[in-house]
């Protein structure tokens, strides 16, 4: 009988999430530092794999990594009007250092547009210096009023890309390239999380941006999670920080800049997309341990025999599979099965004396819990079988998540339908309202326009709120 360590999703989805984070040993709430978490080895190993997948894509698309200071002069933050208004309430300041009051306080970076803008202004002279394509991996701090592990923490780790271009078209192309080729590609191929690529409304866009694009994912409670954003900053920051270049005809022009980021929030998205009441479920491509081997024996003689067989079996795995042999002898096999299921390991191989005699092993799939996910297979060709199964699981998780999203998405044609649909998932509606209309809907329903999908059907319909004719459809949902 399973112990009651994870609250079922149906009973309390929030508690379920916190239970998974704790029981899978990914992170611990730092309680001595408000709103912060400690990444434990399992959680950090997962993040390292995610970082690798993102970093590869960032570099493949022509960007180089750099690193800017953690502290930003307070006056920098004040330079771009919308930006100040957006971030002022949540910045932490450093006012003393070296035992003395500072002449000008620093803020702990909530994001780095401003300090990077300052340096871009110094570095960019001519159109030949463009485009400038940099990225940095760093931690940032936003003094959030309500925090949850991974989803919203006061300090979080992310990458922030910052680029400068000669024309609006170039900046726009960059913004979209990141959205499609880096973020959406990573989410769907590596995380197995289907995402909607969309444009943010004026109300939801980044403070200081011209346009914000995003990828939005659906969690298992039907709520939306913004998994990544890419902003075309127009010339707003270029004007505030005097980022200019001389063009081919010797005229000084303002640059067009972009910024884009994804954070450790992605870990929250991963958990809430795939995991079940038994614990964490990880997609094979990001699982720090893809295969765990549990040896079974009753005495020393069997132990030696089984471990020898396991040694032969796993000899060729290095470099092909991330695996672990769980040879702890103070736990029973049954305990280990449950523990590794809780931790989300995609495949488990069980090897006992009977298997050694018959040349077989038992293989259990994490994505299919219980007896149905378990089968007896020959030791011969095991490695290829495991590799094949990992691919199958990866694809299966994506398909399952996609099917879930589709089952919980509906086109609505009236405000009443909208109110009902957002209780269970995404509501797609024609939209021609204003920011004020949007705010009113949020107050009345607690749902917001998550995005205007970039894939539009192009058909004509009537706006769900104003009744006006429009071809634009949007996604309404309650969001994290």
- Residues 252-311, interacting with RNA (CB under 7 A): 261, 263-265, 296-299
Site string for RNA, 413-452 (x = CB under 7 A): -----------------------------xx--x------
User: Of 49, 71, 73, 86, which lies in the binding site for RNA, with binding defined by CB under 7 A?
Assistant: 86
User: Of 50, 91, 115, 154, which lies in the binding site for RNA, with binding defined by CB under 7 A?
Assistant: 154
Please say which residue, 130 or 336, places its beta carbon nearer to RNA. 336
- Give, as ranges, the residues between 373 and 392 that touch RNA (CB under 7 A): 373-374
Residue 147 sits in the site that holds RNA (CB under 7 A): yes
CA distances, 409 to each of 83, 124, 403, 418, 422 (Å): 34, 46, 10, 11, 9
- Give 193's contacts (C-beta < 8 A, 6+ positions apart): 187, 217, 227, 269, 270, 273, 398, 401
Q: CA-to-CA distance for 57 and 62, rounded, in angstroms? A: 9
Closest CA to 310 of 349, 354, 358: 349
Q: CA-to-CA distance for 467 and 461, rounded, in angstroms? A: 9
Please say which residue, 227 or 280, places its beta carbon nearer to RNA. 227
User: Of 353, 405, 426, 428, which lies in the binding site for RNA, with binding defined by CB under 7 A?
Assistant: 353
Is 47 in a helix, a strand, or coil? helix
Asked whether 156 and 139 are in contact (CB, 8 A), the reply is yes
User: Of 61, 139, 338, 470, which lies in the binding site for RNA, with binding defined by CB under 7 A?
Assistant: 338
Please report how close the Cβ of residue 363 comes to RNA at its closest, in angstroms. 10
Asked whether 137 and 159 are in contact (CB, 8 A), the reply is yes
Please report how close the Cβ of residue 358 comes to RNA at its closest, in angstroms. 8
User: Of 342, 382, 449, 477, which lies in the binding site for RNA, with binding defined by CB under 7 A?
Assistant: 342
Both tokens of residue 97? 């250092």
Q: CA-to-CA distance for 264 and 256, rounded, in angstroms? A: 28
Please report how close the Cβ of residue 334 comes to RNA at its closest, in angstroms. 2
Q: What are phi and psi of 11, to 5 degrees?
A: -80, -45
User: Of 67, 146, 250, 318, which lies in the binding site for RNA, with binding defined by CB under 7 A?
Assistant: 146
Task: State the burial class of residue 193 (Cβ atoms within 10 Å of its Cβ: 0-12, 13-18, 19+).
Answer: buried
Q: CA-to-CA distance for 253 and 414, rounded, in angstroms? A: 47
β-pairing, 71-73 with 93-97? unpaired
User: Of 337, 402, 415, 472, which lies in the binding site for RNA, with binding defined by CB under 7 A?
Assistant: 337
β-pairing, 252-254 with 256-263? unpaired
Please say which residue, 350 or 432, places its beta carbon nearer to RNA. 350
Please say which residue, 158 or 237, places its beta carbon nearer to RNA. 158
Please report how close the Cβ of residue 342 comes to RNA at its closest, in angstroms. 6
Please say which residue, 104 or 443, places its beta carbon nearer to RNA. 443
Total binding residues for RNA by CB under 7 A?
72
Please say which residue, 131 or 268, places its beta carbon nearer to RNA. 268
Please report how close the Cβ of residue 281 comes to RNA at its closest, in angstroms. 13
- Give 238's contacts (C-beta < 8 A, 6+ positions apart): 117, 164, 244, 254, 255, 256, 257
Please report how close the Cβ of residue 182 comes to RNA at its closest, in angstroms. 15
Please say which residue, 57 or 336, places its beta carbon nearer to RNA. 336
Closest CA to 262 of 252, 251, 270: 270
- Give, as ranges, the residues between 88 and 107 that touch RNA (CB under 7 A): 89-90
Residue 355 sits in the site that holds RNA (CB under 7 A): yes
Please say which residue, 129 or 385, places its beta carbon nearer to RNA. 385
Asked whether 463 and 433 are in contact (CB, 8 A), the reply is yes
Please say which residue, 63 or 142, places its beta carbon nearer to RNA. 142
Residue 119 sits in the site that holds RNA (CB under 7 A): no
Both tokens of residue 418? 């909208």
Please report how close the Cβ of residue 354 comes to RNA at its closest, in angstroms. 3
Please say which residue, 248 or 299, places its beta carbon nearer to RNA. 299
User: Of 54, 108, 238, 351, which lies in the binding site for RNA, with binding defined by CB under 7 A?
Assistant: 351
Please say which residue, 89 or 98, places its beta carbon nearer to RNA. 89
Q: What are phi and psi of 414, to 5 degrees?
A: -135, 160
Query: How many other CB atoms sit within 10 Å of the CB of residue 343?
Result: 22
User: Of 29, 72, 192, 382, which lies in the binding site for RNA, with binding defined by CB under 7 A?
Assistant: 29
């Amino acid at each position: 009988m399973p112990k009651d360590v994870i609250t079922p999703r149906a009973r309390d989805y929030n508690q379920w999430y916190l239970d998974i984070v704790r029981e899978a040993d990914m992170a611990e709430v730092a309680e001595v530092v408000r709103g912060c978490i400690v990444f434990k080895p399992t959680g950090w190993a997962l993040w390292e794999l995610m970082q690798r997948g993102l970093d590869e894509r960032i570099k493949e698309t022509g960007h180089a990594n750099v690193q800017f200071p953690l502290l930003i002069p307070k006056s920098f933050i004040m330079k771009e009007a919308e930006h100040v208004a957006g971030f002022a309430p949540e910045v932490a300041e450093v006012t003393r250092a070296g035992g003395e009051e500072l002449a000008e306080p620093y803020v702990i970076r909530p994001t780095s547009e401003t300090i990077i803008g300052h340096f871009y202004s110094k570095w960019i002279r001519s159109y030949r210096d463009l485009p400038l394509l940099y990225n940095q991996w760093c931690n940032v701090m936003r003094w959030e009023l309500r925090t949850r592990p991974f989803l919203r923490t006061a300090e979080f780790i992310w990458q922030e890309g910052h680029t400068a271009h000669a024309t609006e078209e170039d900046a726009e192309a960059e913004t979209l390239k990141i959205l499609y080729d880096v973020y959406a590609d990573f989410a769907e191929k590596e995380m197995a999380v289907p995402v909607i690529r969309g444009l943010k409304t004026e109300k939801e866009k980044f403070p200081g941006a011209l346009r914000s694009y995003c990828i939005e994912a659906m969690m298992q409670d039907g709520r939306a999670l913004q998994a990544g954003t890419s902003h075309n900053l127009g010339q707003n920051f270029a004007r505030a920080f005097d980022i200019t270049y001389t063009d081919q005809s010797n005229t000084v022009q303002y640059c067009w800049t972009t910024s884009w980021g994804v954070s450790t929030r992605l870990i929250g998205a991963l958990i809430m997309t795939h995991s079940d009441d038994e614990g964490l479920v990880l997609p094979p491509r990001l699982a720090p341990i893809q295969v765990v081997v549990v040896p079974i024996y009753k005495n020393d003689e069997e132990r030696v025999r089984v471990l020898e067989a396991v040694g032969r079996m796993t000899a060729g795995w290095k470099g092909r599979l991330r695996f672990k042999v769980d040879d702890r002898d103070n736990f029973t096999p049954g305990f280990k099965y449950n523990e590794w299921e809780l931790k989300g390991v995609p495949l488990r191989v069980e090897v006992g004396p009977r298997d050694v005699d018959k040349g077989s092993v038992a293989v259990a799939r994490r994505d299919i819990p219980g007896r149905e996910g378990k089968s007896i297979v020959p030791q011969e060709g095991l490695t290829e079988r495991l590799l094949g199964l990992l691919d199958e699981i990866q694809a299966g998780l994506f398909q399952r998540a996609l099917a879930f999203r589709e089952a919980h998405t509906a086109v609505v044609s009236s405000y009443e339908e909208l109110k009902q649909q957002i209780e269970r998932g995404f509501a797609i509606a024609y939209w021609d309202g204003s920011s004020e209309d949007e705010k009113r809907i949020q107050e009345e329903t607690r749902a917001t326009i998550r995005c205007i999908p970039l894939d539009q059907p192009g058909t004509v319909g009537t706006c769900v709120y104003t009744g006006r004719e429009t071809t634009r459809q949007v996604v309404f949902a309650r969001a994290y």
